């Protein structure tokens, strides 16, 4: 399954599961506070889908449910289902660890581990494979992953340096690179540019666009302009519900719901 990279859904609809991510009747509570209400979403393969909406609308919560990283909090309960590549990830015999190999995540603040650049890229391999990887193979994995995020030429001479010594932009790219050796199908990004300056934001956005097609990307953003220029489809959420899900150009030009129009035009947020 990991070897067959899905094309876009329209190009190859019958290969593998229909949706990259599909949630049905998803409700989620933090303690007694309900953060998601009856969320039904279908995220397509191989495109960039952005989740937009005001703070507290549940967009990050939805994202963090897709790899079950939400469960770290301990007081989270859910009903309904999320299927990732056709698998119910909340099913009884599924472990979050398996899910997280298929579904990579990039966080708001770049969070490289306090290890070398090289060790960061290989971290996933080291924890998921019992045998040691041969040196040559490891070198290859590192180079391929760093090339894919356009970082190789900049860091190839200092792979042994601490990852935390890189600039924020480089750190964030490294955080994307370290997901790739595990061959994830899906990349979740939680406001990946919000800690970056405009120049770095542009660079990371370009990278995301570059990765489009190879991965299904779901990205949470506060930045309307970013959603508009860097996503194929757009999901607008409000108070834990999905209000509208449409192609990005349609949503920004002719929103169907009045709430969407209000939000896009900046009447609240």
Work out which of 61, 65, 67, 221 binds other proteins, going by CB under 8 A. Answer: 67
Over 228-260, what HEC string results?
HHHCCEEEEEECCEEEEEEEHHHHHHCCCCHHH
Q: Which is nearer to other proteins, 8 or 98 (CB)?
A: 98
Tell me which residue of 233, 235, 229, 234 sits closest to 206, measured CA to CA: 229
Q: What is the CA radius of gyration of the chain?
A: 18
Residues forming a β-bridge with 21: 43, 84
Which two three-digit tokens encode residue 19?
């949706």
CB of 182 to other proteins, least distance (A): 7
Which two three-digit tokens encode residue 116?
């070398």
The span from the CA of 219 to the CA of 230, in Å, is 10
Q: Is 174 in the site for other proteins (CB under 8 A)?
A: no
Work out which of 124, 192, 240, 255 binds other proteins, going by CB under 8 A. Answer: 124
Per-residue interface string for the shown chain with other proteins, residues 207-246, x marking contact by CB under 8 A? ----------------------------------------
CB of 175 to other proteins, least distance (A): 8
Residues 79-108 that bind other proteins (CB under 8 A): 97-98, 100-101, 104-105, 107
Between strands 216-220 and 186-190, the pairing is: parallel
Contacting range for other proteins; rule: CB under 8 A; set: 22-30, 125-133, 231-239, 258-266: 125-133
Q: Is 129 in the site for other proteins (CB under 8 A)?
A: no
CB of 188 to other proteins, least distance (A): 9
Tell me which residue of 44, 39, 93 sits closest to 65, measured CA to CA: 39
Q: Which is nearer to other proteins, 30 or 123 (CB)?
A: 123
Which two three-digit tokens encode residue 130?
């019992």
Longest dimension (CA), the chain: 57
Cβ 46 vs Cβ 212: under 8 Å: yes
CB of 230 to other proteins, least distance (A): 22
Which two three-digit tokens encode residue 153?
């030429």
Chain residues binding other proteins by CB under 8 A are: 67, 69, 72, 74, 97-98, 100-101, 104-105, 107, 109, 111-115, 123-124, 126-128, 175, 178-179, 182
């Amino acid at each position: 399954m990991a070897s067959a990279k899905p094309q876009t859904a329209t190009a190859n609809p019958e290969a593998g599961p229909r949706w990259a991510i599909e949630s049905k009747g998803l409700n989620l509570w933090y303690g007694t506070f309900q953060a998601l209400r009856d969320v039904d979403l279908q995220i397509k393969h191989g495109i960039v889908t952005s989740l937009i909406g005001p703070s507290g609308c549940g967009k990050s919560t939805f994202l963090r449910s897709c790899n079950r990283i939400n469960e770290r909090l301990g007081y989270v309960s859910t009903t309904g289902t999320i299927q990732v590549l056709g698998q119910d990830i909340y099913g009884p015999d599924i472990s979050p660890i398996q899910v997280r190999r298929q579904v990579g995540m990039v966080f708001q603040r770049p969070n490289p581990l306090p290890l070398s650049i090289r060790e960061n890229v290989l971290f996933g391999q080291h924890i998921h494979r019992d045998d040691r990887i041969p040196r040559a193979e490891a070198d290859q994995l590192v180079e391929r992953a760093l090339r894919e995020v356009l970082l190789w030429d900049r860091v190839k001479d200092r792979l042994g340096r601490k990852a935390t010594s890189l600039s924020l932009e480089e750190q964030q790219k490294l955080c994307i690179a370290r997901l790739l050796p595990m061959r994830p199908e899906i990349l979740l990004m939680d406001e990946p540019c919000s800690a970056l300056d405009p120049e770095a934001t542009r660079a990371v956005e370009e990278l995301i666009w570059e990765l489009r097609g190879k991965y299904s990307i779901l990205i949470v953003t506060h930045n309307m302009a970013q959603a508009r220029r860097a996503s194929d489809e757009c999901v607008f959420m409000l108070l834990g519900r999905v209000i509208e899900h449409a192609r990005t150009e349609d949503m920004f030009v002719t929103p169907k719901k009045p709430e969407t129009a209000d939000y896009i035009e900046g009447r609240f947020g």
